[in-house]
């Protein structure tokens, strides 16, 4: 596959370097950033963390309720 040189600022280079995986090329990192994401691939990803998810849901519900109590009409 042929290649093309591009110019990016040092801060962008640093950010891209932090984002890319150790065994990944910069081209692969850029492709991962710009590819359309399929949210259906995420289905079930947290299924092993039931207790943590329940805690998050309870705390979120408590937070939402408390905020609405503070609203004065």
- Model confidence at 47, in pLDDT bands (50, 70, 90)? confident
Over the stretch 18-43, which tens digit does the pLDDT of each residue have?
999 999 999 999 998 888 778 787 78
pLDDT score recorded for residue 1: 79
pLDDT at 69 (0 to 100): 60
d(CA 67, CA 28): 43
Place of tokens 């359309």: 36
Judged by DSSP in three states, 4 sits in coil
Nearest to 13 by CA among 4, 3, 26: 26
Give dist(CA 59, CA 68) in Å, integer: 14
């Amino acid at each position: 596959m042929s290649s093309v040189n591009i110019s990016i600022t040092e801060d962008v280079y640093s950010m891209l370097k932090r984002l890319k995986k150790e065994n990944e090329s910069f081209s692969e990192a850029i492709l991962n950033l710009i590819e359309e994401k399929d949210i259906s691939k995420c289905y079930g990803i947290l299924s092993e963390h039931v207790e943590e998810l329940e805690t998050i849901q309870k705390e979120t519900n408590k937070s939402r309720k408390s905020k609405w109590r503070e609203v004065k009409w």
